[in-house]
Amino acid sequence: MTAPQMPPEPPPAMPGDAGTSPFDHPCPIRDVLNRIGDQWSLLILQALTQGTLRFNALHRELGDISRQMLSRTLKKLEADGFVQRTLYPEVPPRVEYTLTALGHSFLPPLQALVEWADAHHLEICQSRRRMATPA
Amino acid sequence: MTAPQMPPEPPPAMPGDAGTSPFDHPCPIRDVLNRIGDQWSLLILQALTQGTLRFNALHRELGDISRQMLSRTLKKLEADGFVQRTLYPEVPPRVEYTLTALGHSFLPPLQALVEWADAHHLEICQSRRRMATPA
DNA sequence: CAGAATCCTGTGGGATACTG
DNA sequence: CAGTATCCCACAGGATTCTG
- The answer, yes or no, to whether residue B4 has pLDDT greater than 90, is no
Q: What is the mean pLDDT of residues B11-37?
A: 64
pTM: 0.86
Query: Taking CB atoms and an 8 Å cutoff, what residues of chain B touch A38?
Result: 37
- The answer, yes or no, to whether residue B119 has pLDDT greater than 90, is yes
A74 touches strand C (CB under 7 A): yes
Q: How far is CA A101 from the centre of its chain?
A: 15
Q: What is the mean pLDDT of each run of 10 residues along chain A (135 residues)?
A: 50 39 69 91 96 97 94 96 95 96 97 95 94 69
Instruction: Tell me what pLDDT residue A54 has.
Output: 97
Cα of B122 to nearest chain A Cα, Å: 6
- Contact between chains at A5 and B131 (C-beta distance less than 8 A): no
Taking domain A26-132, whether its CATH number is 1.10.3720.10 is answered by no
Q: What is the rounded CA–CA span in Å between residue A81 and residue A112?
A: 21
- Contact between chains at A125 and B14 (C-beta distance less than 8 A): yes
Q: At B133, is the pLDDT very low, low, confident or very high (cuts 50, 70, 90)?
A: confident
The span from the first CA to the last CA of chain A, in angstroms, equals 41
Instruction: Tell me what pLDDT residue B131 has.
Output: 86
Instruction: Tell me what pLDDT residue A134 has.
Output: 58
Instruction: Tell me what pLDDT residue B12 has.
Output: 41
Angle, CA of B8, B13 and B17, to the nearest 5°: 130
Nearest CB partner across the interface for B116, out of A38, A109, A123: A109
Domain ranges of chain B: 26-132
